[in-house]
Structure 1
Amino acid sequence: MTKAEPALVVQGLCKSYPLPGGGRTAAVDDVSFSVAAGGSLGVVGESGSGKTTVARMLVGLVRPDAGTIAVNGRERTPGQRGGGKLPGLSRPGGGKAARLRRAREIQIVFQDPYVSLDPRLTARQCLQGALRLHGRYEGEAAATRVGELLDQVGLGKREADARPRGLSGGQRQRLAIARALAVDPQVLVLDEAVAALDVSIQAQILQLLADIRRETGVALVFVSHDLAVVRHITDDTLVMRRGRTVETGPTARVLDAPKDPYTRLLLSSVPREGWDPAETVRLRGELAGATRAD
């Protein structure tokens, strides 16, 4: 069987921020990965590991200092040329049309959809607005497509006519997913997209995402601190610590037979039957000692 071509290729991604007293700190340092068309990658790490910065750079909310991002072989990083690590990037070109084209390539779903949904619009109006913005459908065709999107994420007529405050957390997340899918993206980034939901609702959303991936062939980049969720939804996993990649590979291998001490620490921190928190403390101490020695 021929391996699917990458939908997303990221090479040498870097981002740093100024420190109050001078100097800079690296939020993301030389991160590279690829995701096959229809594939799924988990990006995991503790708070401050840089995983959310990576997600925001993928969709253009944060501009990289260096590195490239390409979708289906076409580079989308504004201003970058030649793959070199430049100290800065030039202003994005192409105006509104180029920005919309980039938005159609990669869409993002956030942890809290309520803050990204217009409280004045019903679910139906929200989807109509997304289609109109990108010039996807008009008239009856738009109405039909909205119905298809609502059905795809399991929202009925009552939810279609409700505003965000009239929807549950799970329903709002379904609407956010439908809005992202409205432009037929090649890549869907999910930044802690189920972290705020009850466990039973998490399972429903994860099954929905698995169904969407199978039906549409969209590639998923799933940013999460929850290793159980990552195990369920991803083919491959990238582990980040202090802005750098410490381990990457098939999810089953990374989570069942981790090679890096930091990955072992993350796994030891998950409560389970027979869990010994003292082991987590020991591993963290060993890792801190090794870091100081380096």
Structure 2
Amino acid sequence: MTPLTTRAAGWFFQPVALGRVAAMRFLAGAFIWVDWWWYMPWILGHRHVPGELYQPLFIGRVLPIPVPNYWIVVGTLVVLLAAAIPMMFNRAPRLFGWIVAVAYLEWMIIAMSYGKVDHGKFGFLILLFLLPTMPKARWGDRRNLSEHVGWGFNLVQIGVVCTYFFAAWAKIRYGGWEWVNSATMTWAILRRGTEFSTWLLDYPWLLRLSQWGMVGFELLSPVVMFAAAKRLRYGIVAFFYLFHLTVFLAVEISFLPHMVAMACFLPLERIRPRELIRNAPGLPGRIRRKLKARKAIPAQTTPDTTAREPEPAS
């Protein structure tokens, strides 16, 4: 292998701690329950929609998937929710992970075959189909590393970045440069504006600037994949989350499944739920003791200097 190939392989198969797998399985399963109950409850209403209105996506036309009816919609949901619970708690995660992935894909086909197609589920679907390929894991496992897990989460991260990059490409391809130069955000705020965004209608130049900023951010999103410093990468991911929070507060558009998939960028293997629960009652006391200990540390002195009183902690 050439040095460039070796370097690329090392980047793509960089080992990741197994504890992150356990955390992502829990987050994915928890979101599935949130999805049907609060995030997209309208999907269940498709059990009453006449079959004549069903216009399947490309995958629905390629695969021999039956037209959704009452029992298919309800049955898919029951299987999905039932399999998500053991997957969340790492019980036969590969078996139930595959059931969840296939059932959720069918759930999305049912949801998106009536005229509305969301691009915010792309990264989450990739995550669901890669989690069953990963080994059994436990929370907080930072000792055991796996190149296979690193490869899988790299694919999810690429899916997350592609969601941003191709969203900008679609804006330019279908809307042209008028998307950033016209009243796109003005129209969005008039339709879905909140108390946090309606004041922007008095500053159209600021709305146009935000449109340029949004497209620029989406086009530059692949930078996060090549950020060598961990703090820089975590900072970029934090900006991604802040961006989605801002969009939700402005026009109430949420990308919650996308944000769940994006969590694979973060060092979730450091989380130990049992320790957090056990230490939660004594956390204020521990913080006070650490602050007192910092104040009690004397200043460093040398034979040539006189001792000085410790400075108060900032």
TM-score, normalising length from structure 1? 0.32
Question: Going by fraction, where is helix more abundant, 1 or 2?
Answer: 2
Question: Going by fraction, where is strand more abundant, 1 or 2?
Answer: 1
CA radius of gyration, larger in: 2
TM-score, normalising length from structure 2? 0.30
